[in-house]
Amino acid sequence: MGYRHVANAIAKMPYQSFDDALEIRTWLKKNYTLDGTRRILTQLSACNNWLIQNKTLENNKFVELIATVKLPKNRQTTKSEINPFTKEERDLIINALETDKYVKP
């Protein structure tokens, strides 16, 4: 999860204060996958650590919250299990890309 993804998540959040860490975690869990939530919390925690080092913040409320976002133990999926589109949907997408006048060949 890159900078832009995390920045977009922060922009969408109804909470803009590190004091709302618990509410931020709850909101993230409702709006992102567990993995995404954990990654965003990790980035927020890193930001807090930087602020602590620069004497702008006293404590990091996100460190403990990261551990509360438990990922399933069997989160590994095989390539054959990942199937975002049916064959019909795949064919429609490919056809749209081939025939759309705004898509460069």
Tell whether pTM > 0.95.
Answer: no
Q: Given this model, what pLDDT does residue 77 score?
A: 52
Q: Given this model, what pLDDT does residue 11 score?
A: 92
Which of 11, 10, 19, 96 minimizes the C-alpha distance to 57? Answer: 19
- Classify residue 40 as left (phi > 0), alpha (psi -120 to 50) or beta: alpha
What ranges do the domains of the chain cover?
3-75
Q: Given this model, what pLDDT does residue 96 score?
A: 86
What are the tens digits of pLDDT across the range 56-98? Answer: 889 998 988 998 988 877 655 555 566 677 788 888 888 888 8
